[in-house]
């Protein structure tokens, strides 16, 4: 009798699996089919195989004479302005258990709210912009998941509003190039400034890169503590840690600081890493300053480990080392307030500009707590908006048309959130070099206040930026 | 010498956490012959309960800890009753795979509950230190060592001096004979899971004390498995010794390896648990204190 039930259950299980598989197929069809009701999706399906040919074959034109194909529809966005067409953007980020999830989630919210605000104000050049959940991928800070996720959403989108992680973006770059996919990186590698590294300008980075940021950090520290300091460098593997470490080395060389007491590649805790080696080395070698390029958790645990063992050091971290949630760590807060400085590419929640005001208002409207990553996600979309306007102005909103319009991004405004930026020309001239240094202020919005305002230190100002600071 | 003593104290503190987790492995294995890979999931979930009671419900930390342990123990019982009990008599391999799936499920639930932020435990130790001569010892490490000694001592006393502890030991020796003697073997299984879940909760609290709990602590717990294997999967003293060996090996590695064995590269401490396990198993395939199986061929 029992065996009979087992057989029945097994049969049901098989049927359930088959049903689930069919259901997934249906879903997949639906996802692709949504844009497919317009000719756009038909193009999208073929685009992967032969982008240049299909783009031409399936290009549509709106009444004002704007050509478009993949990721753009003449029909309005879901809940969009009825008279506007729709541009679909994608997001590939770290949204659950990767090391940057606490930062990426508010950043994506900022990106989303930027476009919601644009749409609420009538859209951009006759189009609304939509980032749907179907076109949002959680890649867990994993390059292979990043590429897989990209391949899934590529047929639906015009551009990527966020591509998080340097190794991840590099892994997908050949595909971006093949697909004419412009992407906004949530990564500040110095190599993105050079056409040979970003597919001829496909990667639209915003603000100062890690390398210049590090030079400014060294300038700041030397200004505060003098040039007789010892220092250590702790950073994630790859370009994030490597680029920043290269900038620190350039700054240290400029001031004759000598070699670091140690330099450690810190494996993210989510990947099985452990901060005990960093803590041990800091305690053993006693640097005055630790330059750190990790996630917030690694930074917090390293500081906690050092101060919890009676050690002392000033910690200077890149902007991804800070998470406003850290002010809730009562035990660590005194150490953070006394000895942690965070650099960044724009003023945080305390910033005073039209862009800051608009972003804060949007954040209020959705109940978002003060978080500078919301601002980062918001600010990162100004170049995309400028690019859409340029492409529509040229009458060509196809991916190829968008790529052709990149050359017009010579003076992108961020509504005062950070200095205007050019994406064209000699990187030695156009690459941003200004950064800001903040310190922890539990009472302040976003948990920080500025220590310096936006500035360029002498090392960054004098650096000949003719090549990336770090090449993997 | 100071450096060595400092590394030893740090190693004992880390090893105590591994020992607590390894004890969970061993108690479940001894009582029910189930190789459970669910300890890290139980740890994440247990640590979350303490966070919840302490910082969301704003209860006193010690009350939160006690409630967290009790709730985790109940979850352990529920898991045993609902998932492991139906597997009694099934191949050990199948049950082990089931516990891997269980660990994934618990971890996902823990991730969802904890979220992406670092969650404060509200513990009383913080990152303050105690000066002991030339040594600087964190209060958290001292608390970890002292608490672990108390917990392990209580556990050993429970096994040795209580009727139920005796029943658990009897079940560990021979389940069928124990059953024939009227020992409630099913209840022994459930209590074993309850104890393992409680120990995992305490380990999670000490891992997250001071700098906060995040979902990433689960990765660290996986290193307790080599501790259990080194000591011998069916040996309670072995779990304690194995945990301390791994803790000390990691601590000495982070202290001395970059100086004396730099060719091994950075972050070798994260691999040293597995290297030690490999070396021990080469010499003693059943672990240091494990029971050697005699098989007629």
What's the pLDDT tens digit per position in A243-278?
999 999 999 999 999 999 999 999 888 888 888 889
- The SS3 of residue B136 is strand
- A33, pLDDT greater than 70: no
Q: B267 to chain A: nearest residue by CA?
A: A277
> Three-class SS string for B260-291?
HCHHHCCCCHHHHHHHHHHHHHHHCCCCCCCC
Domain presence at residue B291: no
Residues A381 and A325 in one domain: no
Q: How far apart are CA B85 and CA B46, in angstroms?
A: 22
Tokens of B227: 């501790």
Of A101, A274, A307, the CB nearest to B220: A274
- A56, pLDDT greater than 60: no
- Domain with B172, as residue range(s), is 2-283
**Chain A residues near residue B211 by CB distance under 8 angstroms:** 300-301, 303-305, 308, 329, 331-332
Is B214 within 8 Å of A323 when comparing Cβ atoms? no
Is B266 within 8 Å of A269 when comparing Cβ atoms? no
The C-alpha of A290 sits at a distance from chain B's nearest C-alpha, in angstroms, of 17
- B30, pLDDT greater than 60: yes
Residues A319 and A370 in one domain: no
- The SS3 of residue B235 is coil
| DSSP H or E run through A127 | strand A127-130
- The SS3 of residue A344 is strand
Q: A274 to chain B: nearest residue by CA?
A: B270
Segment A196-209 mean pLDDT: 92
CATH of the domain at A287: 3.40.50.2300
Output the pLDDT for position A238: 81
| The total number of residues written for chain A in this structure | 472
Specify the higher pLDDT residue, B115 or A460.
A460
Segment A112-130 mean pLDDT: 95
Contact between A139 and A162 (Cβ < 8 Å):
no
pLDDT in tens, B68-78: 999 999 999 99
Residues A224 and A317 in one domain: yes
Residues A219 and A90 in one domain: no
Q: How far apart are CA B287 and CA B280, in angstroms?
A: 7
**Chain B residues near residue A269 by CB distance under 8 angstroms:** 214, 216, 219-220
Domain presence at residue B208: yes
- The SS3 of residue B162 is coil
> How many beta carbons lie within 10 A of that of residue A237, not counting itself?
17
Domain presence at residue A30: no
- B296, pLDDT greater than 80: no
pLDDT in tens, B34-62: 889 999 999 999 999 999 999 999 999 99
**Chain A residues near residue B255 by CB distance under 8 angstroms:** 280, 284
- Domain with A109, as residue range(s), is 58-207+351-430
pLDDT in tens, B133-187: 888 888 999 999 999 999 999 999 999 999 999 999 898 888 889 889 889 999 9
- B265, pLDDT greater than 50: yes
Residues A323 and A366 in one domain: no
Domain presence at residue B32: yes
Those residues of chain A whose CB sits closer than 8 Å to some CB in chain B are 96-97, 99, 101-102, 105, 262, 264-274, 276-277, 279-281, 284, 296-297, 300-301, 303-305, 307-310, 323, 325-326, 328-332, 335
Q: A234 to chain B: nearest residue by CA?
A: B266
Residues A458 and A313 in one domain: yes
For all residues of chain A together, what is the average pLDDT? 86
Q: Nearest Cα to B152, choosing from B144, B164, B162?
A: B144
The C-alpha of B40 sits at a distance from chain A's nearest C-alpha, in angstroms, of 13
Asked if B220 reaches chain A (Cβ–Cβ under 8 Å), the answer is yes
Is A332 within 8 Å of B266 when comparing Cβ atoms? no
The C-alpha of A62 sits at a distance from chain B's nearest C-alpha, in angstroms, of 43
Residues A142 and A199 in one domain: yes
Residues A165 and A109 in one domain: yes
Q: How far apart are CA A310 and CA A314, in angstroms?
A: 14
Q: How far apart are CA A432 and CA A207, in angstroms?
A: 6
Residues A62 and A184 in one domain: yes
Is B258 within 8 Å of A281 when comparing Cβ atoms? yes
Domain presence at residue A28: no
Specify the higher pLDDT residue, A271 or A321.
A321
Domain presence at residue B296: no
Contact between A457 and A209 (Cβ < 8 Å):
no
Give the pLDDT band (50/70/90) at residue B269. Answer: confident
Domain presence at residue A226: yes
Residues A259 and A317 in one domain: yes
Count of CB pairs separated by less than 8 Å, A with B: 117
Q: B127 to chain A: nearest residue by CA?
A: A308
Domain presence at residue B243: yes
Give the pLDDT band (50/70/90) at residue A8. Answer: very low
The angle subtended at Cα A266 by Cα A265 and Cα A269, nearest 5°, is 160
Domain count, chain B: 1
Residues A329 and A184 in one domain: no
Is A276 within 8 Å of B219 when comparing Cβ atoms? no
Residues A198 and A232 in one domain: no
Q: How far apart are CA A354 and CA B110, in angstroms?
A: 41
Output the pLDDT for position B145: 94
Output the pTM of the full model. 0.81
CATH of the domain at B179: 1.10.3470
Domain count, chain A: 2
Q: Which residues touch B68 (CB under 8 Å, ≥6 apart)?
A: B46, B47, B49, B50, B52, B53, B201, B205
Residue A455: C-alpha distances to residues A220, A387, A436 (Å): 10, 27, 6
Of A99, A277, A329, the CB nearest to B269: A277
What percent of chain A clears pLDDT 70, i.e. is strictly above it? 86
Give the pLDDT band (50/70/90) at residue A66. Answer: confident
Domain presence at residue B290: no
**Chain A residues near residue B120 by CB distance under 8 angstroms:** 328-331
């Amino acid at each position: 009798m029992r065996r009979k039930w087992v057989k029945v259950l097994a049969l049901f299980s098989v049927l359930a699996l088959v049903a689930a598989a069919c259901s997934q197929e249906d879903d997949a069809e639906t996802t692709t089919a949504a844009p497919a009701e317009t000719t756009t999706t038909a193009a999208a399906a073929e685009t992967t195989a032969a982008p240049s040919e299909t783009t031409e074959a399936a290009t549509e034109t709106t009444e004002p004479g704007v050509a478009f194909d993949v990721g753009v529809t003449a029909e309005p966005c879901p809940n969009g302005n009825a008279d506007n067409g729709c541009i679909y953007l994608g997001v590939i980020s770290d949204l659950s258990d990767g090391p940057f999830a606490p930062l990426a989630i508010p950043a994506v919210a900022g990106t989303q709210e930027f476009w919601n605000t644009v749409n609420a104000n009538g859209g951009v050049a006759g189009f609304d912009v939509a980032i749907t959940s179907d076109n949002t991928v959680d890649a867990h800070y994993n390059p292979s998941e990043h590429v897989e996720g990209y391949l899934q959403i590529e047929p639906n989108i015009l551009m990527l509003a966020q591509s998080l992680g340097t190794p991840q973006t590099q892994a997908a770059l050949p595909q971006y190039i093949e697909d004419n996919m412009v992407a906004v990186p949530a990564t500040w590698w110095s190599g993105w400034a050079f056409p040979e590294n970003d597919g001829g300008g496909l990667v639209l980075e915003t603000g100062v890169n890690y390398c210049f940021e590090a030079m400014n950090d060294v300038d700041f520290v030397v200004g505060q503590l003098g040039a007789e300091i010892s220092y250590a460098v702790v950073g994630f593997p790859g370009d994030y840690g490597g680029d920043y470490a290269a900038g620190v080395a350039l700054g240290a060389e400029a001031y004759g600081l000598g070699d670091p007491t140690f330099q450690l590649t810190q494996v993210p805790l989510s990947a099985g890493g452990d901060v005990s080696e960093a803590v041990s080395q800091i305690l053993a070698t006693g640097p005055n300053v630790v330059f750190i390029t990790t996630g917030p958790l690694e930074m917090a645990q390293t500081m906690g480990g050092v101060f919890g063992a009676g050690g002392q050091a000033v910690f200077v971290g890149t902007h991804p080392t800070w998470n406003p949630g850290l002010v809730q760590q009562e035990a660590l807060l005194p150490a953070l307030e006394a000895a942690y400085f965070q650099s960044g590419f724009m003023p945080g929640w305390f910033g005073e500009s039209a862009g800051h005001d608009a972003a804060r208002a949007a954040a209020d409207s959705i109940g978002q707590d003060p978080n500078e990553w919301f601002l980062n996600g918001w600010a990162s979309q100004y170049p995309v908006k400028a690019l859409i306007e340029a492409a529509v102005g040229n009458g060509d909103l196809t991916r190829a048309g968008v790529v052709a319009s990149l050359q017009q991004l010579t003076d992108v405004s961020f509504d005062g959130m950070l200095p205007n930026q050019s994406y064209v020309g000699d990187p030695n001239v156009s690459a941003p070099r200004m950064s800001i240094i903040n310190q922890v202020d539990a009472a302040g919005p976003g948990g920080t206040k500025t220590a310096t305002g936006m500035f360029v230190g002498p090392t960054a100002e004098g650096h000949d930026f003719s090549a990336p600071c770090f090449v993997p | 010498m100071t450096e060595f003593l400092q590394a030893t104290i740090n190693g004992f503190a880390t090893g105590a956490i591994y020992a607590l987790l390894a004890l969970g492995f061993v108690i479940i294995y001894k009582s029910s012959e189930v190789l459970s890979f669910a300890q890290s999931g139980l740890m994440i979930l247990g640590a979350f309960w303490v966070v919840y009671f302490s910082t969301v419900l704003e209860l006193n930390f010690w009350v939160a800890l006690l409630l967290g342990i009790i709730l985790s123990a109940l979850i352990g019982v529920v898991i045993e009753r609902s998932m492991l009990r139906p597997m009694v008599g099934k191949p050990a391999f199948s049950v082990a795979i089931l516990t891997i799936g269980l660990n994934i499920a618990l971890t996902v639930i823990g991730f969802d509950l904890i979220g992406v932020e670092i969650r404060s435990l509200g513990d009383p130790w913080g990152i303050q230190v105690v000066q002991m001569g030339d040594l600087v010892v964190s209060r958290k490490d001292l608390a970890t060592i002292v608490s672990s000694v108390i917990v392990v001592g209580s556990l050993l006393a429970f096994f040795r001096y209580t009727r139920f502890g005796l029943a658990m030991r009897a079940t560990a020796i021979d389940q069928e004979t124990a059953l024939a003697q009227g020992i409630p073997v099913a209840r022994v299984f459930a209590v074993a899971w309850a104890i393992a879940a409680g120990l995992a909760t305490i380990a999670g609290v000490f891992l997250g004390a001071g700098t906060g709990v995040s979902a990433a602590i689960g990765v660290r717990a996986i290193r307790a498995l080599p501790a259990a294997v080194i000591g011998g999967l069916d040996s309670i003293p072995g779990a304690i010794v194995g945990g301390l060996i791994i803790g000390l090996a990691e601590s000495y590695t982070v202290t001395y390896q970059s100086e004396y064995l730099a060719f091994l590269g950075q972050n070798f401490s994260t691999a040293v648990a597995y290297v030690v396990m490999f070396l021990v198993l080469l010499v003693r395939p059943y672990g240091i204190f494990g029971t050697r199986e005699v098989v007629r061929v």
